[in-house]
Amino acid sequence: MKIIADGNIAHLSDFFNEHTLGRPIELIAMAGREIDAAVIDEHQPDILLVRSVTPVNKLLLDNNKSVKFVGSATIGIDHVDVEYLAKRGIIFAHAAGCSKHSVAQYVVAAIANLRPDYFFKPINLGIIGVGNIGNTLAQYAISYGWNVLGYDPLKPPSVVNNAKLETVLQESNVISFHVPLTHAHNSSYPTHHDYLMTQARWQTVSDTAIIINTSRGEVLGRDDIVASPNVCVLDVFEHEPNIDAELLKACSIVTPHIAGYTLEGKLRGTQFVYNALCKYLQVAPTVDFHTLMPAEVPLFQKVHNPLKDHERHQLLNKIPVMYDIKADDKRLRSVANANGDIEGKDFDNLRKNYPLRREWQSYVFKIW
């Protein structure tokens, strides 16, 4: 059985080999952006494993008859034409929720870096999109004593899906985006910036609000960000993987699409896809990602939920130890070329060689 896979999938060969899948395997790993129709035609794989940088659609697969299973080790699936795969009878699996804590912790780290005083105030945290990640972020916010203003027209009303879009934009101290990228042709509530965050809606946002986007770059328009007076934190970019100097200058924190790149998040992504492939192949899974984890290093013996006041101080002091978001910002800015722009190859190289980062749960001995 032949597998073509994005080489950035965590512990790829530990999960996908002849011992773990119960048959001879030829595993071909390559950069995700290099997986195209010509590669598929040349290798005729049975299995295709991708991340978000590989579009999986008719253009990629229409001349191919060998691919029977596609797995994406990601939460988001807007890079995959799911309807096309279904029409072709190709099994599809993805890693729903795999990095929800990683991304939520990224958002909290950004807020802690920019406005540490917010950890001692009942601020309004606006969350646009309350799926796996948005809902998880909301739980963190509640534990810090923040008010959640959530908007998601595709979800039923709830404790965290509780506000109109206009309310979120006008009343939030921080607005965090956690939506898939959709357009008018494939959604009743398109999220591309031509529809969701239009120029008119930008005008309703308080000038003092922090804007954070960890979802998809095209949710926020590049020109709108540059023109905005708001403090902006971007992990994704409209013209990713290329970032121009003016956009870099306009943002307070920029990182190379790594919000979900904790070891736990990446390994869960691989595990989800591996389990789905085992089910398709009718073999029992033999790999558990927990066996691949290094030892935990607790920084807290215990914490309460919600946090006590002294624990808020502890958390603020420990966040840069658990995740130094400014170090990621510095690494990205350091690879700018002579014109101050980030080139795609350097952006992708930072993602490929991203240093070890752990989810915060690995630092906490017990939660009360």
Residues 6+ apart with CB under 8 A from 207: 229, 230
Strand pairing partners for 256? none
The whole-number pLDDT of residue 366 equals: 52
Residues 133, 316 contacting (CB under 8 angstroms): no
Q: What is the DSSP letter of 308?
A: P
Spans of all domains in the chain: 2-94+262-286, 99-260+294-368
The whole-number pLDDT of residue 298 equals: 65
The whole-number pLDDT of residue 237 equals: 98
The whole-number pLDDT of residue 197 equals: 98
The rounded distance, in Å, linking the Cα atoms of 196 and 272 is 31
What residues act catalytically? Answer: 216, 240, 257
The whole-number pLDDT of residue 314 equals: 86
Q: How far is CA 155 from the centre of its chain?
A: 20
Residues 29, 6 contacting (CB under 8 angstroms): yes
Q: Do domains 2-94+262-286 and 99-260+294-368 have the same CATH topology?
A: yes
Strand pairing partners for 303? 367
The pair phi, psi for residue 293, each rounded to 5°, is -85, 140
Query: Along the 368 residues of the chain, how does pLDDT read in single tens digits?
Result: 999 999 999 999 999 999 999 999 999 999 999 999 999 999 999 999 999 999 999 999 999 999 999 999 999 899 999 999 999 999 999 999 999 999 999 999 999 999 999 999 999 999 999 999 999 999 999 999 999 999 999 999 999 999 999 999 999 999 999 999 999 988 999 999 999 999 999 999 999 999 999 999 999 999 999 999 999 999 999 999 999 999 999 999 999 999 999 999 999 999 999 999 999 999 999 999 999 988 766 676 666 777 888 888 888 999 999 999 999 999 999 999 999 999 999 999 999 999 999 999 888 655 44
The whole-number pLDDT of residue 239 equals: 97
The whole-number pLDDT of residue 297 equals: 65
How many angstroms separate the first and last alpha carbons of the chain?
A: 48
| Domain formed by 2-94+262-286, architecture | 3-Layer(aba) Sandwich (3.40)
The rounded distance, in Å, linking the Cα atoms of 187 and 190 is 5
The whole-number pLDDT of residue 349 equals: 96
The whole-number pLDDT of residue 142 equals: 95
Residues 237, 247 contacting (CB under 8 angstroms): yes
Buried b (16+ CB within 10 A) or exposed e, 49-88: bbbbbbbbeeebbeebeebebbbbbbbbbbbbbeebbeeb
CATH of 99-260+294-368, one of 3.40.630.40, 3.40.50.170, 3.40.50.720, 3.40.50.300: 3.40.50.720
The whole-number pLDDT of residue 341 equals: 98
Half-sphere exposure of residue 273, counting CA atoms within 13 Å on the CB side? 31
